[in-house]
Chain A
Amino acid sequence: MDLNIIYVLWLRQIRRYYRSGSRLLGTLGQPILLLLALGYGIGAIYRRAGEGNYIQFLVPGVITQTVLLSGIFWGIIILQDKRFGFLSELLVAPVSRLKILIGSALGGATISILQGILVFAIAFVFGFRPYHWINVPLAFAILVFMCLALTSFGAGIASSVDDFQGFQGINNLIVLPMFFLSGALYPLNNVPTFLKIITTINPVSYMVDSLRFLLANQTHFGLGKDLIVMSITFVVAIAFAVDRFNKVQM
Chain B
Amino acid sequence: MSEIILSAKDVVKKFGNITAVDGISFDVKKGEIFAFLGPNGAGKSTTIKMLTTMLRPTSGLLKLAGHDVTTERDSARKSFGIVFQDPSLDEELSAVENMELHATLYRIPKKEQPQRIEEMLKLVELWDRKGSLIKTFSGGMRRRLEIARGLLHEPKVLFLDEPTLGLDTQTRNTMWRYVKKLSQEKGMTIFFTTHYLDEAEDVAETIAIIDHGKIVARGTTEELCKQTETKSLEEAYLKLTGKEIREESTNNDGLNFKMSLRNSRLR
Q: A19-B92, A88-B88 are in contact. Are A94 and B106 (CB under 8 A)?
A: yes
Min CB gap B230→A, angstroms:
36
- Structural contact, A12 and B93, CB atoms closer than 8 A: yes
Residues of chain B contacted by A90 (CB below 8 angstroms): 105
Q: Identify A91's interface contact among B54, B100, B254, CB under 8 A.
A: B54
Whether A92 lies near B93 (C-beta < 8 A) is: no
Nearest Cβ on chain A to B129's Cβ, whole angstroms = 17
Chain A residues with Cβ below 8 Å from B84 are 85, 88-89
A92 touches B82 (CB 8 A): yes
With a cutoff of 8 Å between Cβ atoms, the chain A residues found around residue B258 in the complex are: 83, 85
Shortest CB distance A8–B (Å)? 4
Q: What is the CA–CA distance of A140 and B252 in the complex, to the nearest angstrom?
A: 43
Provide the bound-state CA to CA distance between A136 and B73, in Å: 47
B235 contacts the other chain (CB 8 A)? no
CA distance A61 to B198 in the complex (A): 63
A4 CA to B103 CA, complexed, in Å:
11
Q: A174 an interface residue at 8 Å Cβ cutoff?
A: no
**B203 on the interface (CB 8 Å rule)?**
no
Within 8 A of B (CB), among A42-99: 83-86, 88-95
Once A85-B87, A86-B90, A88-B84 are accepted as A-B contacts, the answer to whether A8 and B78 lie under 8 Å apart by CB is: no
Pairwise interchain contact B105-A85, C-beta atoms closer than 8 A: no
Q: Which residue of A lies closest to B150 (CB)?
A: A89
The verdict on B53 contacting chain A, using a C-beta distance below 8 Å, is: yes
Contacts of B74 in A (CB 8 A): 94
Q: A8-B105, A12-B101, A83-B254 are in contact. Are A92 and B87 (CB under 8 A)?
A: no
CB distance from A78 to the nearest CB of B (A): 13
Beta-carbon contacts of A231-250 to B below 8 Å, as 1s and 0s? 00000000000000000011
CB pair B104–A92 under 8 Å, yes or no, is no
CA distance A123 to B54 in the complex (A): 48
Q: Does B52 contact A (CB under 8 A)?
A: yes
Contact indicator per residue, chain A 86-123, by CB within 8 Å of chain B (1) or not (0): 10111111110000000000000000000000000000
Q: Which residue of A lies closest to B92 (CB)?
A: A16
A222 to chain B, nearest CB (A): 43
Shortest C-beta distance, A169 to chain B (Å), equals 16
Interface membership of B239, Cβ < 8 A: no
Q: What residue in chain B is nearest A8 (Cβ atoms)?
A: B104
Query: Are B92's CB and A92's CB within 8 A?
Result: no
How many residues of A are counted as interface, with CB atoms below 8 angstroms from the partner's CB atoms? 26
Chain B nearest CB: distance from A1 CB in Å? 6
Alpha-carbon separation in the docked complex, A120 to B82 (Å): 46
A90 to B89, CA, bound (A): 10
A15 contacts chain B at the CB level, 8 A cutoff: yes
Give which listed residue, A16, A95, A162, A250, contacts B90 with CB less than 8 A: A16
Contact at A93–B88, with CB atoms within 8 Å?
no
B55 adjacent to chain A (CB < 8 Å):
yes
* Residues in B110-161 with C-beta less than 8 Å from chain A: 110, 133, 149
Interfacial chain B residues near A86, Cβ < 8 Å: 88-90
Q: Which residues of A contact B195 (CB under 8 A)?
A: none
Given contacts A85-B87, A250-B54, contact A8 B101 (CB under 8 A): yes
B214 interfacial by beta-carbon distance below 8 Å: no
21 residue pairs of the A-B complex, CB under 8 angstroms, read A4-B110, A9-B101, A12-B93, A15-B93, A15-B97, A16-B92, A16-B93, A84-B87, A84-B91, A86-B88, A86-B90, A89-B88, A91-B54, A92-B52, A92-B53, A94-B74, A94-B77, A162-B254, A163-B257, A249-B54, A250-B252
Residue positions of B touching A, CB distance < 8 A: 49, 52-55, 73-75, 77-78, 82, 84, 86-93, 97, 100-102, 104-107, 110, 133, 149, 252-254, 257-258, 261
Given contacts A93-B77, A95-B105, 14 further A-B contacts (CB under 8 A): A1-B107, A8-B100, A8-B101, A15-B93, A16-B92, A16-B93, A83-B258, A84-B91, A85-B87, A86-B89, A88-B84, A94-B77, A94-B105, A163-B254
